[in-house]
Copies of this chain bind each other. A is one copy, B any other.
Amino acid sequence: MGDGLFSKFKEYSVAEFFKKNRQMLGFSGKVRSLTTIVHEYCTNSLDACGEAGTYPEIEVWVSGEGENKYKVRTKDNGPGIPKTHIGKALGMMLAGTKFNRYMQQRGQQGIGATGCTMYALITTGKPIKVISSHEGKRIECEISMDFKNNKPLINMVSEGPAEGGKSGLEIEGIFGDVKHDKSAYGVYEYLRRTAIANPHATIIFNSPDGERFVFPKSVDEIPPKPVEVKPHPLGIGAHDLIEKARSAPYQKISSFLQEEFTRVTLNKIKELQEAVPEVDLGKKPSAMSWEDAEKLVAGFRKIKWIAPATDSVVPIGTKQITSSLSSVISPEFMQVTERAPKIYRGGIPFVVEVGLAYNGKGANGEILRFANRAPLLFDAGGCAITQTIKSVDWKRYGIKNLDEEPLSIFVHFASVHVPYTSAGKQSISDEEEVVDEIKNAVMEAARGLDRHLSGKRKAKEMVSKRTAILRYVGQLSRDLAELCGNKADSEKLKEKLLKLVEGKYSVGKIEEAEAAAEAVEPTKEGAEEKKNEDKGKQETLNGKEEAEE
C-alpha cells in the first residue's frame, strides 16, 4: 500500500478551512448569508464607536445587482482603521484586536469581516472596497485574499487628507448567493432588533426597493465604555497559567500574580504561599513547571477570594429596555428584570436581562435574543436562551401554551466572553451557571406577569359579576316591590341594591384589583433570591465553591 494514503496528506490554512465550511460562519442559505454580512459590518462599527466613546451613526445600503446578487454598503462615524491594519482587519482570518481581550464586545474572534471578504470573492470574485478615514488621513483601497496563505491582497486606490478631519469607515462589496427579503431573518428585522438593543445609536437602512428606514437615537446616554479586565484566579486552569507566566516580563511569580490577576493582594500572596509551600513564589514565572501550575491552581481553591468585579459587564438597563420595547411593541403590560451580574466557569462575569412584553404588536411567543447588544437571529434551536425558556413551566405563570399567547420575551446576555456554540456566533452554549441564571431571570419576570394576569382575571370576574347583577337589579327591585305590595318602594329598593353592588363591585375596587396586578411585589421565592443577591455584591468566593452563605 505504501505511503499511498499518506501521499494525499496536506496542510490547509484556516481561510481554506472556513471557505469549505462557510456554513460555520453563518453563510448557510441566501437570506441568512445577506443578513450575516450586514451583521458583521454593523457589529464592528458599533464596537469601534463603543471604544471611541461616541454616538454611533451607521447607514446601510442594500441594492440588487442581478439574480441573487446584491451590493452591500455600510458607512459609520467610528474611528476608522489605520493603513497598517486594513488588510489584516478585512483580509486575514484570526487577526484582530478582539481575540485575547477579556472584554464585553460584540466581535471576539477576528473572523467576521474577513469572512465577508471571503464570501464576496467566492461568489462574485470581486474585492471589497474600503474607504477608511482615520486620524486625519483618508485611504481608499480594494481588498482580496490569498486563501492558501491566509494573507490579504491590497490594491491601494488613493491616499490623502480626511475631509474636515472626520473619521469613519465605509465598506462596499458585491455578493452572490444572497437574497434580500422582508422575513423575520432579513436585514430589516436584524437592524430593527439592533436598534432595540442600542438606543444610543442611529441606524439607517436603505432597502433594495428604494425605501429608507431610520431608527433614530432615542436616549442621550452613551453606554459606559467596555473595560478590559484581568482574569480571576479561580477562573484559570494550569495550562493558561503557564502560558501567561511564560510570556510575561516579571521577575517573580508573586508580582506576576498581583499584576495579571484581579483581587490578588499582598495578603493573598502570603496566604497562597502558606497554602502551597512547595512552590517558591519568589522565583521567576518563566521557570514555572506544569506541576507548579497545578499546585498553584489547587492552592487558589483553598483560599477565600473576593468575587471578580462585575462592572466590566454593562447591561442595557431597565430604563432603556422599557423604552425600546414600548416603542416597538406597545404592550399592555411589561416586566423587566434588574439582576446582579454572576460568574460562570469559575471566573467569567456575565449579566442577564429579561423583558416580557404582553399583548402588544409582537408575534405570539417570540423570543428576542441578544448577546452583548447584538441580535441573535439564527440557530435558536441550539441556543441556551431558547432551550431554557422552553424548559420553564409557563402554566405556573398563567401561560398555557407559549406559542399561542401574545407574549414577546426579550433576553440580553452580556459578558466579557460569550460562550458561543460555533464561529457563526448566533447561539450560546449551555454553561451550567448561565442556564441557571437565565432561568431565574425569566421566572422572576414571569412572576410579575402572573400577578398581572391573575389581577386581570380577578378584575374580569368582578366586572362580569357586576354586569350580571346590574342586569337583574332593575327586575329584582320590581319583583321585590310587588311581593311587598308597594310600588313606590321599587325605586328605593333599586337604589339600595345598586349601593350594595357598588360597595362590593365598584369600579374603584375593580381598578384596585388591576393595580395590584401591576405592582411588583417580590414573592417569597423572589425575596429569598433577592436577599442572596444583595449579599452577592461583595460576595466572597471560597475556593471550595460555596458561593452563597
- A: residues with CB less than 8 A from B are 1-3, 5-6, 8-14, 16-17, 20-21, 23-24, 28, 51-52, 79, 81-82, 84-85, 88-89, 92, 94-97, 99-101, 109-110, 121-125, 135, 177, 237-240, 242, 290, 293-294, 379, 381-382, 387, 419-424, 427, 429-431
Contact = CB atoms under 8 A, between A and B. Distances in A.
A249 B237 CA distance: 50
A430 B28 CA distance: 9
A6 B95 CA distance: 11
A18 to B, nearest CB: 10
24 contacts: A5-B79, A5-B97, A6-B82, A6-B85, A8-B101, A10-B95, A10-B96, A10-B99, A11-B88, A11-B95, A12-B99, A14-B17, A17-B109, A20-B99, A24-B420, A24-B423, A121-B239, A124-B290, A379-B421, A382-B421, A382-B427, A421-B422, A422-B423, A423-B423
Contacts of A110: 12
A82 B3 contact: yes
A239 B22 CA distance: 14
Contacts of A381: 381-382, 387
A89 B5 CA distance: 12
Nearest to A125: B290
Contacts of A1: 52, 79, 135
B84 A3 contact: yes
Contacts of A424: 422
Closest 7 CB pairs of A and B: A382-B382, A125-B290, A422-B422, A122-B239, A14-B14, A12-B94, A381-B381
A24 B421 contact: yes
Contacts of A97: 5-6, 8-10
A5 B85 CA distance: 11
A429 B23 contact: yes
A263 to B, nearest CB: 23
Most buried by B among A20, A51, A84: A20
A327 to B, nearest CB: 33
B95 A9 contact: yes
A215 B418 CA distance: 41
A307 B122 CA distance: 24
A14 B123 CA distance: 24
A176 B424 CA distance: 28
Contacts of A94: 11-14, 16-17
Contacts of A11: 88, 92, 94-95
Contacts of A28: 419, 421, 429-431
A33 to B, nearest CB: 13
Contacts of A242: 125
A115 B382 CA distance: 22
A361 B94 CA distance: 48
B237 A9 contact: no
Given A12-B95, A94-B14, A429-B23, A6 B84 contact: yes
Contacts of A240: 122
Given A5-B51, A6-B84, A11-B88, 10 more contacts: A9-B95, A10-B99, A12-B100, A12-B110, A16-B99, A24-B422, A28-B421, A122-B237, A122-B240, A125-B238
Given A11-B92, A422-B24, A239 B3 contact: no
A239 B23 contact: no
Given A5-B79, A99-B12, A123 B237 contact: yes
A387 B13 CA distance: 33
A401 to B, nearest CB: 14
A251 to B, nearest CB: 23
Nearest to A24: B422
A419 B123 contact: no
A432 to B, nearest CB: 8
B123 A239 contact: yes
A6 to B, nearest CB: 5
Contacts of A20: 99-100
Nearest to A147: B243
A403 to B, nearest CB: 14
A148 to B, nearest CB: 9
Contacts of A387: 381
Contact of A239 (B84, B89, B125): B125
Most buried by B among A8, A9, A12: A9
Contact of A421 (B23, B99, B124): B23
Contacts of A82: 3, 6
A242 B122 CA distance: 10
Contacts of A9: 85, 88-89, 95-97
A9 B48 CA distance: 13
A79 B6 CA distance: 11
Contacts of A420: 21, 24
